[in-house]
Amino acid sequence: MQHFISLKHMQKNIIELLMMPGIGALCGAIPFEDILRKSQAFAPLSKNQKIIINSLAFCIPIIAGLIGYSVFGTFSAIALGSASSALFHTFNPFARFRSNGFWSAIGAAIITSPFLIVLFAIMWLTGYGVLGKQKAIAMMSGIIGTALLSPTTPALILQTFQIIPFAERAEHTLFALLLCMTLFIRNLYDIRQIIQQNANKE
């Protein structure tokens, strides 16, 4: 009987691993900005329309995470759905790779592990105040600081903020690193621009 339960649990995990990244990718693949631009003959977006686009980018990973929660009820399902949605929204070929990924990453964190947002904000403010008050550098400080400090944050602090506690610490670490890697790659261009500007000044 115990062997049967273990086998059933393993099958559920395999289905979760196969299903949730696909659901997340489908949610993230919706090119809201292009749809809105096309509806108004590709005229420039207004400030309110940009707010709407950012709000949708924020909500989509939350929806993907809630689907994982409703189907599987596990931390890993929420993490897989929300992280893959944020990843695909950031590097969406259907939206011509225009998204900066920030709001989708925030949405993924808020549904999976909100403490990452607190940690990112602290590191962002530290980088902005100490390293020259440049937003691109502050962003990288937040990303790298979160990637380095989240694996060593006490589990009790992380679980206090979560909807569902993680079964293993590695699940949370992998989720945090995936989000940080997504934003890191997306913001490399801005950092290169700053390095080139500083090199030209010298």
Quickly list DSSP for 26-42.
Answer: HHHT--HHHHHHHHTTT
In terms of C-beta density within 10 A (0-12 exposed, 13-18 middle, 19 or more buried), how is residue 167 classed? exposed
Residue 58 CA to residue 190 CA, distance in Å, equals 22
Q: What is the pTM of this model?
A: 0.85
Within 13 A of 101's CA, how many CA atoms are on the CB side? Answer: 25
Residue 134 CA to residue 127 CA, distance in Å, equals 8
Walking along the chain (202 residues) 10 residues at a time, the average pLDDT comes out as: 42 78 89 77 76 90 93 91 93 77 93 94 91 83 93 89 86 93 88 69 61
Residue-level pLDDT at 46:
80
Given the structure tokens 């086998």, which residue do they identify? 7
